[in-house]
Amino acid sequence: MRVGAERRLGNDELRELALSVGFHDVRVTRVRTTPRGEALDRWLARGDHADLHWLARGRDVRLDPRVRHAWARTAVVVAVHHHHRVPDDPGGRTGRVARYAWGRDYHNLLGKRLRKLKARLGELGVRSWGGVDTAPIVERSWAEAAGLGAVGKNTTLLVPGRGSFLLLGVLFLDADLEPDPASTRDPCRTCVRCLRACPTDALPEPHRLRTDACISYWTIEARGLPPRALRSNFGRWFFGCDVCQEVCPHAHDPDDPDEDDLLPRHAWVDLDDVVASSDDDLLRRFEGTPLRRPGAAGLKRNALLVLANLGDPGAVPVIRRHALAHPEPVVRAAGVWALRSLGERIALPTETDPLVRGELDAEDAVRAR
């Protein structure tokens, strides 16, 4: 039975279904070309997406979901709030993790709930397609159009009184529902705190993110070493970065959600332990969390950069023993950077990898000046 024949899906019924499977918010808007789609094209044309080439490959569907499913008529935006207060700083050689990655991998969490919602809609005769940020969907644009919040100067979706600590999913339906009013209020007005606070100047102007300068990109998606000029600005960020969200006035003190799957299990990470662990043990430790995304080599690279920034010479033995002998060049190169930053002299005469040799030669050139 198709919706619109003998039966019509109502907004209240949809909301009840979405809340029953675990979403915290649900909003609705009509399907058309993606709102703010021109901003995506400008972003891609400038090359601000760095080497995230999959964003360009999915451009057509991102700009209009009807390219994939001509029957789409309604966009349903669902959200899960993930803000939890940062646990006390444990001190020592530890690194910070962005809030969204403290608990269970949100791709799995939201994906499971979306599948439940799709199944229940299917029982009512409603076709649907969608997903989270792994699907070719500009979630923030649809969320703004559906009135959930508004895109701020830091490019995140801001919800008044809650900030941007939320996870989004979108489903496109072949049913007609009454749209919620779009967000029209500018949440930022004259505020530029996020632009000024970004440690690496990844927000050069309002509503523009330079991926190749973003800490989150370099600690999660990138496989190489970040530019030398950026590394000391990473501070203690081991995985991701929340600075532009934490300074936002809308995120001053939001309520913590009743969401056990996203509790702060990995808010702080022991960096010595990351460097010293075997790759397999490290990945097992973070099974089912976003922290597996960079792979073991990426996690060790991140730990070494933060150890360099902490400036604690107590880290030298673990770096020498475990980083310089690692099979991945990016780990060895990060180890060279960390040791040199900690004032250590190091020579690896048998090293032939160009990435590692580049770090050695760059440091030698600096010392020769």
Strand partners, 64: none
Asked if 122 and 188 count as a contact pair (C-beta separation under 8 A), the reply is no
Alpha helices per DSSP H over 64-191? 106-123, 139-145
**186 is a catalytic site residue:** no
The alpha carbon of 368 is separated from its chain's Cα centroid by a whole number of angstroms, namely 40
Alpha helices per DSSP H over the chain? 11-20, 37-46, 53-57, 59-63, 106-123, 139-145, 193-197, 215-216, 228-231, 243-246, 271-276, 279-285, 295-310, 316-318, 329-341, 354-368
Helices 295-310, 329-341: axis angle to 10 degrees equals 0
**Of 133, 180, 273, 279, which one is the catalytic site residue?**
133
Count of H-run helices and E-run strands, the chain = 16, 9
* Burial class of residue 233 in the structure, from the number of CB atoms within 10 Å of its CB (0-12 exposed, 13-18 middle, 19+ buried): middle
Looking at the annotation, which residues are catalytic? Answer: 133
